[in-house]
Amino acid sequence: MVTLSWSVLIGTLVVLVVCCTALLVATVAVRLSRARRARRHDERTAQVKPLVLEVLTAEDEEVAPACEAVAALPDTLWPTAETFVLAAFDSVRGEVRDALVQVLIQRGTLERALAATQSRSAVRRARAAEVIGLVGHVSGRRGLVRLLSDPNIEVRTVAARALGQIGDPHLTSILLDSLRPGSDVPPSVVGTALLGSGETDTAALEAGLAADDEVVRLTAIAVSAELLVLATARAVADRGLTDPSVTVRVQAARALARLGGAWAVPALAAATDPTEASVVRVAATRTLGEMPFPPARAHLALLRDDEDPDVRRLATAATPSRETAGGDR
Amino acid sequence: MTLGKVLVVDDNHDICDLLALKLTNAGFDVTQANDGITGLELGLNGSFDLVVLDVMMPGMSGIDVLRRLRDAEQTATTPVLLLTAKTQERDVESGFGAGAGEYMTKPFSPRELLVRVKAMLARSQS
């Protein structure tokens, strides 16, 4: 009995020692491998970084030869250079960026990313969308539009963001359409992408104001106001202030502070009608208070005795004396 | 003979190197710092003609560094260019409110940055 216990104990100890040794060897091997990889990465970065910085700091006739040096990097160094260039795109714009985009296209970065949009891995598809957005070339548009219907929400979101980086006004309707029910792409991402485009398609924004989905209408109003798309201002007043959704009516009333002229005063005044929702009345009163037009002051004077304390407060703050307001009338 | 002494503070080493190289190539004597605290120490002791300052940095933000520079007598009027990814109107307002002479948003054009640095120095020397 005792002999059996000893042999079990010794056997267990031997197994433990072997396991610990194997674990130690594996840990050391992994660490050595990581250190070797890191050293190799540092060595490659040290070779690549000065060449890319040379392009990023080049001026005029220096740009082309500097780009040629980067484009001529051997295949072993190219992945490091590509990573470095793409990371720099977050911070740098201008002619040197445009020149590096051509280098990336020449070395097949865009082509590979477009191919990766068909990958079975959602992570790869998302990364591909990110790369296409960073490159920002119009030829990446079709691949990104396809990814807006990707089964993975993260991929759809990255694709929407990347489309904004391409900056094509023709994408306005496509981006607004990506807010359709079930898509789940955050409206903030689509809104930011549209703002990032800089230029938008006015007709698409107007169509967005009449869309069935409330989120689309809200985004169209927000983008119109942020980008000061004056061509949609009357549609914001006409459709937005009479929208079935209270949230949209509030957003439209506030958007008119940026978009509206004296012509918008009657529509805003109508939005302060006592039958209207309180939040809409408050938003319209606030906007009227920010307008310098006499008809706006005149209407605010009428609201100084309103039953709603918020409307009353805003109207009083905007028209400090009845005499002044009356005089304006 | 250099065009002036410039301190570049940015926690992104690559961007810091890029700014330093651009300014060095243009004839400036450039010192780099990769965090706000080091940047502040160098700024207070280095008698720089101009500071290029990133806003979002761990430890001490560029806005805090700028305020401390403005509080110190020797750096109260040193021109500071803020370089940041923050693009909102209130961010720009807070940058100028803290005493920045220029505000550039990322992504930035290195060429434009150089032009602005030169213009700021010309203004401060006139």
Q: How far is A279 from chain B (nearest CA, A)?
A: 25
Q: Which of residues 59-98 of B touch A (CB under 8 A)?
A: 85
**pLDDT given for residue A321 in this prediction:** 65
Beta-carbon separation of A88 and B106 below 8 A: no
> Which residue is closest to B22 within chain A, CA to CA?
A57
pLDDT in tens, A158-185: 999 999 888 788 889 889 988 888 778 8
For chain A, the distance separating the N- and C-terminal CA atoms, rounded to the nearest angstrom, is 111
Beta-carbon separation of B107 and A84 below 8 A: no
pLDDT in tens, A75-133: 999 999 999 999 998 889 888 999 999 999 999 999 999 999 999 999 999 999 999 99
Q: How many residues does chain B have?
A: 126
**pLDDT given for residue A184 in this prediction:** 81
- Substitution target in B10, B11, B15, B30 with the highest count of A β-carbons within 10 Å is B15
**pLDDT given for residue A290 in this prediction:** 94
pLDDT in tens, A28-87: 999 999 999 999 988 999 999 999 999 999 988 899 999 999 999 999 999 999 999 999
Taking the mean position of all CA atoms in its chain, how far away is CA A147? Answer: 15
Whether the CB of B21 is below 8 Å from some CB of chain A: the reply is: yes
Which residue from B14, B17, B110 is facing A96, i.e. has the nearest CB?
B110
Q: What is the mean pLDDT of residues B52-79?
A: 93
Mean pLDDT of chain A: 91
> Which residue is closest to A91 within chain B, CA to CA?
B107
Measuring CA to CA, which residue among B44, B45, B54, B47 is closest to residue B20? B54
**pLDDT given for residue B2 in this prediction:** 86
Whether the CB of B112 is below 8 Å from some CB of chain A: the reply is: yes
pLDDT in tens, A267-289: 999 999 999 999 999 999 999 99
Which residue from B15, B25, B111 is facing A91, i.e. has the nearest CB?
B15
Sheet holding B29-33, edge to edge: B29-33, B5-9, B50-54, B80-84, B102-105
More confident residue, A23 or B94: A23
**pLDDT given for residue A322 in this prediction:** 53
> Which residue is closest to A95 within chain B, CA to CA?
B109
Q: Which residues of A touch B107 (CB under 8 A)?
A: 89-93, 97
**pLDDT given for residue A3 in this prediction:** 60
Which residue from A59, A87, A96 is facing B14, i.e. has the nearest CB?
A87
Q: Which of helix, strand or coil describes residue B98?
A: coil
User: Which residues are CB-contacts of A260 (< 8 A; sequence separation ≥ 6)?
Assistant: A233, A237, A268, A287, A291
More confident residue, A324 or A247: A247
The label of the residue with tokens 């409110």 reads B97
> Which residue is closest to B26 within chain A, CA to CA?
A57
More confident residue, A6 or B54: B54
User: Which residues are CB-contacts of A156 (< 8 A; sequence separation ≥ 6)?
Assistant: A147, A148, A149, A150, A178, A183, A184, A185
Q: What is the mean pLDDT of residues B3-22?
A: 94
Which residue from A49, A84, A94 is facing B111, i.e. has the nearest CB?
A94
Instruction: For residues A129 and A117, give the distance between their C-alpha atoms in angstroms, rounded to a whole number.
Output: 7
Mean pLDDT of chain B: 92
Boundaries of every domain in chain B: 5-125
Q: How many residues does chain A have?
A: 329
ipTM of the modeled complex? 0.84
Q: What percent of chain B has pLDDT over 70?
A: 100
Decide if A272 contacts A265 (C-beta within 8 A): no
Whether the CB of B108 is below 8 Å from some CB of chain A: the reply is: yes
Model confidence at A199: pLDDT above 90:
no
Q: For the domain covering B5-125, report its CATH number.
A: 3.40.50.2300
Beta-carbon separation of A57 and B108 below 8 A: no
